[in-house]
Amino acid sequence: MTVQTKTEDCPVCQSSDDAGPGSDLVYGWIGCELCQRWFHPSCVNLSPHEIETISEYHCPDCAPKHGPSVLKRKSSRSRKKIDYIALNEGQQLREIDKHPHIDNFKMFENDRPLENLIYVVRPEVDGNESGLVTDSKLTQIIFETQLKRPILVPACNPALPNYKNCYDLTFNFPKMTVDQIAEEVGLDKELPVMDVLTQNNSPNWTLGKWRDYFKLKAQDRDRIRNVISLEVSQTKLNDKIELPKSVLDIDVVNKIFLACKSELEAHGIEKPKVSKYILMSVKDSFTDFHVDFGGTSVYYTILQGHKQFLMFPPTKRNLAAYEKWCLSDDQNSFWFGDLVPPTKPGKEPIDPAYMNNGVKIDIDAGDLLILPSGWIHSVYTPCDSVIVGGNFLNMLSLKNHLEVYKIEIDTKVPEKFKFPNFIKVIWLIGWFVMKNNNLTEFELECLSSLIPFYKSQLQDIENIDTADKYHKRIINRIKNSLPTSVIGKPADFVAEFERWYFLQTKKRKYDDM
């Protein structure tokens, strides 16, 4: 087969440009062995993978008379594509189209039926008199479980063909293709694209370039890549995506800015933009174990495709193992699941919702998953998939949010990978609840975590001179993040909040008598 760069015109497009329509310069031209004419591979619908299989090319005009192109002899021994980039960087020999942890992921099996590990919404159990699962019922489930276990709502998206007509839930997740997303957001939009093998972002990607990559056949993709952080709240898609009402009802950032938006914006405080992400994952994408920034909870729904989650609850021992794993030199060499100690009754006080040895969940198009705060999880994609998801802080999970923040400090997570303005938001929560006292008993109990957190931060600021260089940067960032124009002098605010909290808990006790 003859493949090279030529300067004569392609018989199909009449262009002498080396790069034919939609092609790349790896295979600029392909020559017919019979008529000796040269074609752009893209003009005769040949992919790089197909070109690799051809020994003698016959063009569309010659093939009907002389037979199809002659293919190379194929060895019965399968050949593995090696990741030479990783090899050159001194990492272990591995395949380029398979993350080394996928086999471990696939082998994991739940030790109990899924219904005993998470809350699966069932219309026959959770439906009202008309058999419908409503917003109020889903919110009730969230509060009854205290958002400690994953909640799965199967086939609940009316925009998709597998919708089960037994839901009355308020949200809008329209069916969208990658082409439609690219057109709505903009082909020139820069976006972070993860290289699945290294778990690092690749530079110089636009949404247009990503669209073209996503549409390639699996065998024609140079590497496995994944988009997991395209936030679209400032694009045309913002008005087309509506979060579940039950999520908005418990999202404390949404509550604060819904009630106090003008006041906060007058002080230059803007709402963090973390609630509307588009994820686009090609077949065999894999995101290694992680905890979402700030220990945020997550809503997650698939528009097309399929996903698998493997997750471990945020017990004290699991989080310690996670922190150790994060600090290891080469996470690709260690399967996090091997570091997780088995959960056994009596070993340590464990919340009943966390009494498991890991949970594996399959999520199909149309399903809605609500992932609780702090759960350590990895995600595998068995087929090309498009997803909408978002992160949210909530008062039910304050203790976890603050614990994960500490882990992020200890593991030196870069600022760009943290929840935007996390410290500012945490201090605004105390300010907000004193202005708008509409809390459940459990939410009030959860607020107790704020008092030692506030005091600890003030103490760190006071003792900054004794801190090392890294922690001085952290403390200065904390000091600059305090919303003093809203809360006033931090020490006075903490004293006021502590008095308010004491009076509220005392009042609740008297009311219960």
**pLDDT exceeds cutoff 80 at 124:** yes
In terms of CATH, what superfamily is 102-413?
Cupin (2.60.120.650)
Helix axes 450-462, 469-481, angle to 10 degrees: 120
CA 114 to chain CA mean position, Å: 22
* 436/499 Cα distance (integer angstroms): 16
pLDDT of residue 27: 58
% of the chain at pLDDT higher than 70 = 91
pLDDT of residue 212: 94
Distances (CA, A) of 56 to 2, 25, 44, 314: 8, 20, 15, 59
2 Cβ partners below 8 Å, 6+ apart?
Answer: 30, 31, 33, 57
pLDDT of residue 146: 96
Neighbours of 510 (CB within 10 A): 7
pLDDT of residue 54: 85
Q: Band the pLDDT of 18: cuts 50, 70, 90.
A: low
* 410/467 Cα distance (integer angstroms): 14
* 360/363 Cα distance (integer angstroms): 10
Neighbours of 201 (CB within 10 A): 16
Angle at 284 between CA 288 and CA 172, to 5 degrees: 85
Structure tokens at 380: 């595998």
Using the CB atoms, write b or e for 69-99: b if 16+ within 10 Å.
beeeeeeeeeeeeebeebeeeebeebebbbb
* 381/283 Cα distance (integer angstroms): 6
Q: What does the DSSP assignment read for 188-204?
A: T-B--EEETTTTEEESS
Q: What does the DSSP assignment read for 28-61?
A: -EEE-TTT--EE-GGGGT--HHHHHTEEE---TT
Q: What does the DSSP assignment read for 225-275?
A: EEEEEEE-TTSGGGGG-B--HHHHHH-HHHHHHHHHHHHHHHTT------S
- Burial environment of residue 278 by CB neighbours within 10 A (0 to 12, 13 to 18, 19 or more): buried
Of 8 and 43, which is predicted with more confidence? 43
pLDDT of residue 47: 81
**pLDDT exceeds cutoff 50 at 25:** no
pLDDT of residue 2: 53
Closest by Cα among 456, 438, 351, 352 to 395 = 438
% of the chain at pLDDT higher than 90 = 74
* 428/157 Cα distance (integer angstroms): 34
- The mean pLDDT of the chain is 90
pLDDT of residue 78: 44
Residues shown for the chain: 513
Q: Which residue has the tokens 């024609």?
A: 220
Of 96 and 478, which is predicted with more confidence? 478
Q: What does the DSSP assignment read for 380-414?
A: EEEEEEEEEEEEE--GGGHHHHHHHHHHHHHTT--
pLDDT of residue 77: 45
Neighbours of 36 (CB within 10 A): 9
Structure tokens at 179: 């082409």
Task: Report which residue type is found at 223.
Answer: R
* 408/395 Cα distance (integer angstroms): 20
Lowest mean pLDDT among 199-208, 296-305, 381-390: 199-208
| Residues 142, 121 contacting (CB under 8 angstroms) | no
454 Cβ partners below 8 Å, 6+ apart?
Answer: 427, 430, 490, 493, 494, 497
Helix axes 490-512, 450-462, angle to 10 degrees: 160
**pLDDT exceeds cutoff 60 at 86:** no
* 134/140 Cα distance (integer angstroms): 10
* 364/353 Cα distance (integer angstroms): 24
Convert the pLDDT of each residue in 315-374 to its tens digit.
Answer: 999 999 999 999 987 777 889 999 998 887 666 678 889 999 999 999 999 999 999 999
pTM, whole model, 2 decimals?
Answer: 0.83
- Burial environment of residue 485 by CB neighbours within 10 A (0 to 12, 13 to 18, 19 or more): exposed
Convert the pLDDT of each residue in 223-278 to its tens digit.
Answer: 899 999 999 999 999 999 999 999 999 999 999 999 999 999 999 999 999 999 99
State the architecture of 2-71 in CATH terms.
Answer: 2-Layer Sandwich (3.30)
Closest by Cα among 229, 240, 231, 238 to 273 = 231
**Alpha-carbon dihedral sign for residues 319, 323, 326, 328:** negative
Mean pLDDT of 458-471: 96
Q: Band the pLDDT of 203: cuts 50, 70, 90.
A: confident
pLDDT of residue 344: 74
